[in-house]
Amino acid sequence: MGLLSKDVAIDLGTANTIVYVKGKGIVIREPSVVAIDRYTGRIVAVGNEADDMIGRTPENIIAVRPMKDGVIADFDITQSMIKNFIHKANVASVLKPRVVVCIPSGITEVERRAVEDAIIQAGAKDVALVEEPMAAAMGAGLPVNKATGSMVVDIGGGTTEVAVISMGGIVSSQSIRIAGDALDSAIVNYIKKNIGINIGDKMAEQIKMEIGSAYEDNEEGVFDVRGRDMSTGLPKTVQVKESQIREAMKENIEEMIESIKMTLEHTPPELAADVMERGITLTGGGALIKGLDKLVSEVTKIPTYVAEYPLDCVALGTGKALDDIKNLLAKTKIR
Ligand code: ADP
Ligand code: MG
């Protein structure tokens, strides 16, 4: 058994990396974060452990997110991170694993090659690529191979990818660099400007997950925010309201919806009609923003659904692509 080469799918996300092993399912789900000793360059921690260090490290240790906007920002650190996850997944024993990894739809040839090289240098025997929106749609259980239009909107940390898929191909797509991270920054800025408190990105993300919402309803959640008072320089706790956070995120969310509308405008009428009828599916961590589905369906007049496991869709879809790994590898090698 140990002599069989393993097939592995990797969702190398800006915020989270997920590793799926054929026959097992998802075995690793950790933040795409690496902690490094600034002076020696030595890697101190990877994944969850490194993430816990963000904002809490002594001066010599920095926590780095080596993926940015869906592509590799730091090659060596990304490669070490992948190596660590492959090792943890316990798939590199005797024979090297074959890997399928997903990439955003709009990236350059150079960016693609960097992903391939990083995976190979991290210890893979072969690597094949699948496009992220396709993986997201497959993972959400959409009928990607049928002659009908399916729309998927994947909102991750760095990018929001919108795509219409039909007969196994992406018919039209858009990728914008506004997603979860941008929402966090918007919350930091709003609280600085309107409340006079400085908070970190992590605190902003926590606020977003707890009380962030896109659509006004009767509820008004509150959150006790801890930060630094800008006038006294001292720590302070203030209460923020759901409506304030909605206001903070408003502009970015409008841009996401604009991108959905643009993609629909560039979709052939028959397929757009399919989408009108079958609806829009939201995936990625951003799909969990409360009321986003409701807002999207109100603005677009198209029924909108959140996928069952939004954070796992891309990994599950890339995992499904493993069934076709021979063809995918052949295609990758021809390029
Ligand atoms: P990526 O594929 O880029 O790694 P993910 O699909 O894993 O991204 O999503 C991560 C993003 O989703 C982060 O910005 C995170 O803050 C956000 N997120 C996760 N859970 C929630 C939630 N419950 N509400 C709002 N945003 C969330
Ligand atoms: Mg993703």
User: Over the stretch 221-244, which tens digit does the pLDDT of each residue have?
Assistant: 999 999 999 999 999 999 999 999
Residue range 286-294: average pLDDT? 98
Question: Residue 158 CA: which ligand 1 atom is closest?
Answer: 3
Task: Please tell me the distance from the alpha carbon of residue 248 to that of residue 230, in angstroms, as a whole number.
Answer: 19
Phi, psi (deg, nearest 5) at residue 313: -50, -50
Task: Please tell me the distance from the alpha carbon of residue 114 to that of residue 108, in angstroms, as a whole number.
Answer: 10
Question: Residue 209 CA: which ligand 1 atom is closest?
Answer: 24
Tell me how far the alpha carbon of residue 129 is from its chain's centroid: 17
pLDDT at 2 over 60: no
Ligand 1 centre distance from Cα of residue 320 (Å): 22
pLDDT, greater one: 3 or 181: 181
Residue range 252-277: average pLDDT? 98
Confidence of residue 263 (pLDDT cuts 50, 70, 90): very high
- 241: helix, strand or coil: strand
Residue reference for tokens 């918007």: 186
Residue reference for tokens 């759901």: 242
**According to the model, what pLDDT value does residue 335 have?**
59
Share of the chain above pLDDT 70, in %: 97
**Chain-wide mean pLDDT for the chain?**
94
Helix axes 201-211, 180-195, angle to 10 degrees: 100
Helices (H), ranges, the chain: 48-51, 75-88, 109-121, 132-139, 180-195, 201-211, 242-265, 269-278, 292-300, 313-321, 325-334
pLDDT at 269 over 90: yes
pLDDT at 93 over 80: no
Confidence of residue 334 (pLDDT cuts 50, 70, 90): low
Can you read off the two tokens belonging to residue 279? 């609806």
Tell me how far the alpha carbon of residue 174 is from its chain's centroid: 15
**According to the model, what pLDDT value does residue 69 have?**
87
Residue range 89-108: average pLDDT? 87
Report residues whose beta carbon is within 6 angstroms of any ligand 1 atom: 13-16, 156-158, 180-181, 205, 208-209, 212, 284-286, 288-289, 311
Ligand closest to CA 13: 1
Ligand 1 centre distance from Cα of residue 330 (Å): 33
**According to the model, what pLDDT value does residue 218 have?**
87
Taking the complete model, does pTM exceed 0.85, yes or no? yes
Shortest-distance Cα residue to atom 14 of ligand 1: 180
Confidence of residue 1 (pLDDT cuts 50, 70, 90): very low
Model confidence pLDDT, tens digit, residues 112-154: 999 999 999 999 999 999 999 999 999 999 999 999 999 999 9
Residue range 95-103: average pLDDT? 93
pLDDT at 327 over 80: yes
